[in-house]
Amino acid sequence: MAAAALTVDHLTKTFRLHSEKNNSLKMLIAGKKRNRYEEFTALRDVTFDVKEGEVFGVIGENGSGKSTLLKCMAGILQPNAGSVHVSKRMSALLELGAGFHPELSGRDNVFLNAAILGMARREIAGRFDEIVEFSGLESFIDSPVKTYSTGMYVRLAFAVAINVDPQLLIIDEILAVGDVTFQQKCLEKFVDFRNEGRTIVLVTHAMNSVKDMCDRAIWLTHGVVTGEGDPAELVEAYTEMMLGDRNRNEDGSVRRGSGEIQIERVELFVGASETPVKRFRTSDSIRLRLHYRAEKSVPKPVFGFAIEHLGGATVTAPCTRDVGLLPASVSGEGYVEIAMDNVAMLPGTYDLHTSITDFNRQHEYDNLHLALRFDVMTGKPYETGGLVTMRPTWTIQS
């Protein structure tokens, strides 16, 4: 069993909420300003540990105490009871802007920040170029950070945090802010970190990241740990709780959206057959048929679907807009058919989700989570690992 990189032991944190309303005018005049407050318990008796080399997730709804927990870990907040023990060099990436001085340039902030995180000036100077390169902010590094956009801010903060050589990295919901390229870069860095046996604690609302990246997770509800263990199971339970039972259909699917147009059912066919099936083999040619019904005429709908492996990875997620298939409007009943030849997916169980949005992909008419679950069985080629085959050609030179 690996040693603990971080131990949180019966941690309780309360905040005092001052209630102004009790300071009535009469009392003020009488000079009796009463200092009344209420205690609010943000974390109650929280206990868990994070092992060396783990990627550990913390999930929970807004206000459940995740950021408070991370601040206690980082030593920014003092707990009222219990303790946090950190046995590794830690670097924390907390709320936006924490640690940055708005008037100073990006360059000065890098030095300031890295020094706070425990790096010597010479060390920082040695890594400066790498930090700036990772942030991608070469042309802005001498401008004051108050002129940075939110995304730029995060890029710089992240670049510093990972380059101070932490053995334990704690991150509060930052992946959501950067653009796709930067998110990808961060993910790669996480994988490197994990391979190097470093430890990461991650707070995020991105449930796919939790499922894909974390080895273990906890779920906080009103400051109490209400679940701990396998990330995929926790995420499932959490999503179910958040979406509520009212949206859950008999077959386990969950529907969201405004509802003017909906996917009523999805069929899967193999080859030219018209008999719906729930399984096929690697390299089969398949068709998906998304049957819709629109209560009224819906302008420029965009139909999409996602195929997700049971383990949480999204295999593909295309939509009609990607290929410029843009009907001026759709009404009544019909179906959208997607043909896919020579499918590269390897054996496993997969879930199909569908969505219908407006042209800008902003408004959701319909989102059917788990429209269809299907299995891929062994076909050709046979491969021992992975989700898809690249149909490799192997040669060995000797």
Ligand X SMILES: Nc1ncnc2c1ncn2[C@@H]1O[C@H](COP(=O)(O)OP(=O)(O)OP(=O)(O)O)[C@@H](O)[C@H]1O
In the chain, the largest separation of any two C-alpha atoms, in whole Å, equals 96
Q: Shortest gap between Cβ of 168 and ligand X (angstroms)? A: 19
Starting at the earlier edge strand, list the strands of the sheet with 90-93.
90-93, 168-172, 199-203, 55-59, 216-221, 224-229
Taking residues 7 to 36 in sequence order and writing x for each that binds ligand X by CB under 6 A, - otherwise, the string is --------x-x-------------------
Binding test (CB under 5 A) with Mg ion, winner from 53, 57, 67, 312: 67
Closer CB to ligand X, 64 or 357, in the complex: 64
Closer CB to ligand X, 7 or 14, in the complex: 14
Judged by CB under 6 A, does residue 282 bind ligand X? no
Q: Are 337 and 289 in contact (CB under 8 A)?
A: yes
- Picked from ligand X, Mg ion, none, the partner binding residue 62 (CB below 5 to 8 A depending on kind) is ligand X
Q: Shortest gap between Cβ of 157 and ligand X (angstroms)? A: 17
Closer CB to Mg ion, 65 or 178, in the complex: 65
Cα angle 368, 222, 235; round to 5:
35
- Picked from Mg ion, ligand X, none, the partner binding residue 63 (CB below 5 to 8 A depending on kind) is ligand X
| DSSP β-bridge partners for residue 202 | 57, 171
Neighbours of 120 (CB within 10 A): 10
How many residues bind ligand X (CB under 6 A)? The answer is 12
Long-range CB pairs of 121-129, under 8 A, 24+ apart, other chains included? 127/163, 127/164
Q: Are 190 and 43 in contact (CB under 8 A)?
A: no
Which residues in 27-86 contact ligand X (CB under 6 A)?
Answer: 40, 42, 60, 62-68
Closer CB to Mg ion, 62 or 195, in the complex: 62
Q: Shortest gap between Cβ of 166 and ligand X (angstroms)? A: 21
Which residues in 186-245 contact ligand X (CB under 6 A)?
Answer: none
Give the type of residue at 192.
D
- Extended beta strands in the chain, E state: 4-18, 37-51, 55-59, 81-86, 90-93, 168-172, 199-203, 216-221, 224-229, 254-256, 261-270, 279-281, 286-299, 302-309, 314-316, 329-340, 348-357, 364-377
Q: Are 6 and 54 in contact (CB under 8 A)?
A: no
Q: Shortest gap between Cβ of 6 and ligand X (angstroms)? A: 17
Closer CB to ligand X, 64 or 282, in the complex: 64
Say how far apart CA 133 and CA 137 lie, in whole Å. 7
Closer CB to ligand X, 15 or 335, in the complex: 15
Q: Shortest gap between Cβ of 93 and Mg ion (angstroms)? A: 12
Q: Shortest gap between Cβ of 68 and Mg ion (angstroms)? A: 8
Per CB under 5 A, the segment of 66-74, 294-302, 321-329, 384-392 that binds Mg ion is 66-74
Per CB under 5 A, the segment of 62-70, 138-146, 343-351, 386-394 that binds Mg ion is 62-70
Q: Are 123 and 111 in contact (CB under 8 A)?
A: no
Q: Which H or E run contains 159?
A: helix 150-163
Query: Cβ-count burial of 161 within 10 angstroms (0-12 exposed, 13-18 middle, 19+ buried)?
Result: buried
Q: Shortest gap between Cβ of 237 and ligand X (angstroms)? A: 17
Neighbours of 222 (CB within 10 A): 14
Q: Shortest gap between Cβ of 46 and Mg ion (angstroms)? A: 15
Closer CB to ligand X, 94 or 307, in the complex: 94
How many residues bind Mg ion (CB under 5 A)? The answer is 1
Name the site residues for ligand X (rule: CB under 6 A): 15, 17, 40, 42, 60, 62-68
Name the site residues for Mg ion (rule: CB under 5 A): 67
